[in-house]
A and B are shown apart, each in its own frame.
Chain A
Amino acid sequence: MPAVNAGDYPTVRMTALTEPFWNACERNILTVQRCERCRQWNFPPVDSCRICHSGLVWSEVTGQGRIYSFSVVWRAPVPAFTVPYAVAIIEMHEGFTIMSNIVGSPAGDIAIGAPVTVTFVKRGEIAIPMFRLSRE
């Protein structure tokens, strides 16, 4: 299994199933799985469609979404993370949800419902998808 550990950040534990996601991130593209039959979007990755059990293909998404919930963290699980930082659930334009960080804004500007856009933050050899508040 490929494992990339940049600095003291937690290792990204990718698998054969999830490698396409991380490879696309490296090219600053957010891709998730989509059912080739029922067109349902899916994240996190699984082996077959959770609705109709057909095959899935990796497809680029808009990278646009809205903050569903968030938390400003003041006690990091490992010292690599500088506090405070914001974690969030993003409800993506395509309808799936993803957990990530909100970067580039003071914590006070972060609110449920705020529109966000994906951005990629390099961490060693890997690029981590994060989100910035977008102008409506």
Chain B
Amino acid sequence: MSHHLFRDAAIVGVYNTKQARRLEGQSTGSLIRDAILGALNDAGMSTSDLDGILVCPPYMDRTTDAESRRWGYELGLRDYWVGSSVTPFLGVIEAAAAIAMGQCTTVVVATGQAGLHSDHQSTAPWTQIGEWTLPWGLFSVAEFALVARRHMHLYNTSVEQMAAVAAAIRSHGNLHPEAVMFGRGAVSVDDVLSSRLIAEPFRLLDCAITSEGGAAIVVTNFSRAQDCRRPPTYILGAGSDTRGPAYNLPPTWEMCGDLGSRASKNAFSMAGLSPRDVRACEFYDPFSFEVIRQFEAFGFCKEGEGGDFVTSGVIERGQKYPVSTDGGLLSFSHAGQAQTAQRIIESVRQVRGDAVLQIDNCDVALASLGGSATMFSAVLLIGQGRP
């Protein structure tokens, strides 16, 4: 067997700050600091262990490179590597690659958001960028809805099948004390179908919440990982693909229906695994339909069969392919870029065995990012064993 690219990198610390619709008294900066210190504490490390940093700002007018430089300085680091990925999800891959290349030893990947995309905005400001969308009242929900509607037309996928996804994920969030929607009650298919319409076929409960919060992940090298506080987890496989600029192109099924198929194939191939090896499906879930689409694109079922797949008794806790076991973007949190880190954080916790809603025998988790209408998709396979 050839040398695995990520053999010498491990994820050793993860942390979510408190997540809420509004975090009074918190700023983006205070959340990023708290997330970094929390993830280091989880690893049994301190800032003196860091020689790399990758901080993703939630604002479009700043870059990860600039934010990372600033935060490294602010944390008192001296010689440090900085990353440039726009999302912490891809930032973890970039950090692991930098460590594998010997550029640095220990990197914290962090983000946070407060006060920018708060309560009751219909869509995040950074998605409102398109010359070919904004004048027609098109926004993220409506663009994803266009994809879902086409799938309904092609494959008879039903709103009940989409609602089943939302109900399952939101019911997970209801049980998770760290979720924004914790304790709000189990959600049924009927609850989803009786919530108000947003952009047909999507209703309110088919759509991600908006919230505030921070998140961070510590990646280090293999030898340093052995004396951390928690058992290390490893990147077994990774893939990332783009088909064009986000939020500006007509999201036809031909353009983006199977987006993520190559990324997932790359990840599974690198890991020597297949979809049936996955124990936790920590999919990016901005909208209920995107889970159906990803089960198809990632090869868990055939194209067009996603609606039947999600209603075959597989996506809830205790079933074969539980989705978004922390409640996902639909009910855990959706805070700028934090939710992209949180798909990895929940994967790591499930694989380490210290998730709040722990799945039995979870040795492999799949985290994903992106979606059809955003024209990009990334996949990470997280596991217990060194690859």
Contacts and interface: CB of A to CB of B under 8 A. Distances in A.
Contacts of A31: none
B199 A74 contact: yes
Given A72-B199, A87-B146, A77 B136 contact: no
Contact of B252 (A10, A12, A68, A78): A68
Contact of A74 (B134, B139, B198, B250): B198
A71 B152 CA distance: 12
B137 interface: yes
B145 interface: yes
A97 interface: yes
Interface of B: 122-123, 128, 131-139, 141-143, 145-147, 149-150, 153, 196-202, 248-252
B136 A128 contact: yes
Interface of A: 9-15, 18, 44, 68-78, 81, 85, 87-89, 97-101, 112, 123, 128, 130
Given A69-B150, A74-B199, A77-B123, A87 B136 contact: yes
A97 B142 contact: no
B149 A10 contact: no
A89 B139 contact: no
A112 B137 contact: no
B141 A68 contact: no
Contacts of A123: 135
A88 B141 contact: no
Contacts of B200: 71-74
Given A69-B153, A77-B139, A112-B153, A10 B199 contact: no
A101 B138 CA distance: 9
A68 B200 CA distance: 15
A87 B250 contact: no
A67 B194 CA distance: 27
B255 to A, nearest CB: 8
A44 B132 contact: yes
A69 B147 contact: yes
Contacts of B199: 71-75, 87
Contacts of A14: 131
A32 to B, nearest CB: 11
Contacts of B248: 44
Contacts of A76: 122, 137
B196 A74 contact: yes
Given A73-B198, A75-B198, A130-B136, 12 more contacts: A12-B134, A44-B248, A71-B201, A71-B202, A74-B196, A77-B134, A77-B139, A98-B132, A99-B133, A99-B136, A100-B136, A112-B153
A82 to B, nearest CB: 9
Contact of A69 (B122, B131, B135, B149): B149
A68 B147 CA distance: 10
Nearest to A113: B153
A30 to B, nearest CB: 13
A20 to B, nearest CB: 13
A112 B149 CA distance: 9
B131 A87 contact: no
A112 to B, nearest CB: 5
Contacts of A15: 131
Given A44-B132, A72-B199, A77 B137 contact: yes
Contact of A89 (B123, B128, B196, B252): B252
A85 B250 CA distance: 18
Contacts of A77: 122-123, 128, 134, 137, 139
A78 to B, nearest CB: 8
Contact of A101 (B136, B146, B198): B136
20 contacts: A10-B128, A13-B134, A44-B132, A69-B147, A69-B252, A71-B199, A73-B198, A74-B200, A75-B196, A77-B123, A97-B252, A99-B136, A99-B250, A100-B136, A101-B137, A112-B149, A112-B150, A112-B153, A128-B135, A128-B136
A89 B250 contact: yes
A89 B135 contact: no
Nearest to A111: B153
